[in-house]
Structure 1
Amino acid sequence: MTEDGRPLDGRRSTGGRRVSSGSQWQCHLATPGERLAYLRHSGHLSDLTITFPGHHDIIQVHRWVLAISSPVFEAMLYGPLAEGDLLHLPEDPPEAFNWLLDHIYLNHSQLPGVQLALQVYQLAAKYQMDPLCKLCSQYLVQEVTASTFPGVYETALMLEDDQLLAKCAQLTTNWKRQL
Structure 2
Amino acid sequence: MSTISPSQCCVHNSKEHNNELFLNERLSDLTISFPFHKIYFPAHRQMMAKTSPYFENLFYGPMAIKDKEWEVKDDIEPEVFKIMLAHCYDLNLLEESLEMTLKVYKLSDYYMTDSLKSQCLK
TM-score by length of structure 2 reads 0.81
Matches within 5 A, 1:1-179: 27=10, 30-83=12-65, 84-90=67-73, 91-108=75-92, 110-138=94-122
Partners of 1:69 and 1:94 lie apart in 2 by: 19
Cα distance in 2, alignment partners of residues 30 and 81 from structure 1: 34
State the 4+ residue runs in structure 1 displaced beyond 4 angstroms: none
Deviations 1:8-30 (A, max 9, x none): xxxxxxxxxxxxxxxxxx81x63
Measured in 1, the distance between the counterparts of 2:108 and 2:33 equals 18
* Cα distance in 2 for residues equivalent to 1:103 and 1:112: 15
- Structure 1 pair 50/115, CA: closer, same or farther in 2 (3 Å)? same
Identity of aligned residues (%): 33
The runs of 5 or more residues in structure 1 that have no matched partner are: 1-25, 139-179
Higher relative contact order (CA 8 A, sep 6+): 2
Larger helix fraction of residues: 1
Q: Distance in 2 between matches of 1:41 and 1:123?
A: 19
Deviation at 1:71, TM superposition (A): 0.1
TM-score by length of 1: 0.57
Q: 2:36 and 2:12 mapped to 1: Cα distance?
A: 39
**Equivalent-residue separation in structure 2 for 1:70 and 1:62 (angstroms):** 13
* Alpha-carbon spacing, 1:93–1:137, altered in 2? closer, same or farther (3 Å): same
**2:36 maps to amino acid:** G
Measure the CA separation in 1 of the matches of 2:101 and 2:79: 11
Q: Partner letter of residue 118 of structure 1?
A: L
Larger-Rg structure: 1
